[in-house]
Amino acid sequence: MLSRTILEKLNKQVNLEAYSAHLYLQMSAWLLSQSLDNTALFFRQHAEEEKVHMMKLFDYINETGSLALIGSIEAPRKTGFASLIALLDDAWQHECAITECINKLVETAFEEKV
């Protein structure tokens, strides 16, 4: 079984990955509305990749005999963007934040020698 701390962080990450999938799908929708079809496809594919990340974490939690907890996934805060550059900047900032969460999770795992 996983420690309580690791389990909480993994469950949080499951939900962050789900939110990321929703965010990138919303970005894809906006890009389609702007006739930026190729970029929309990229973000749609990225949304699918985030779902894969979510499922890998979900499966790992359950394989350890722990319980994956699916919380409510909030809708993306933004549905429109001033420009493609603004959208890309938001995506970059989101990726940096998610990467920081993963890094903290890994740091905790090293500390607990999981």
Provide the b/e sequence for 13-30 (b: ≥16 CB within 10 Å). Answer: bbbbbbbbbbbbbbbbbb
Angle (CA) 111 70 1, round 5°: 40
Q: Using an 8 Å Cβ cutoff, are 109 and 5 in contact?
A: no
Domains of the chain in start order, with CATH, are 4-112 (1.20.1260.10)
Is the Cα dihedral 78, 58, 53, 99 positive or negative? Answer: positive
pLDDT confidence band for 113 (50 / 70 / 90): confident
Task: Indicate the DSSP class of residue 76.
Answer: P
- Going by C-beta distance under 8 Å and a sequence separation of 6 or more, which residues neighbour residue 92? none
Residue 114 clears pLDDT 80, i.e. is over it: no
Residues making up the chain, counted from first to last: 114
Q: What is the pLDDT of residues 31-75, one digit of tens each?
A: 999 999 999 999 999 999 999 999 999 999 999 999 999 999 999
- Sequence letter at residue 15: N
**Structural tokens at position 45:** 């594919």
Q: What is the pLDDT of residues 90-105, one digit of tens each?
A: 999 999 999 999 999 9
Rounded to two decimals, the pTM is 0.93
- pLDDT confidence of residue 1: 80
- Determine the average pLDDT of the residues in 18-34: 98
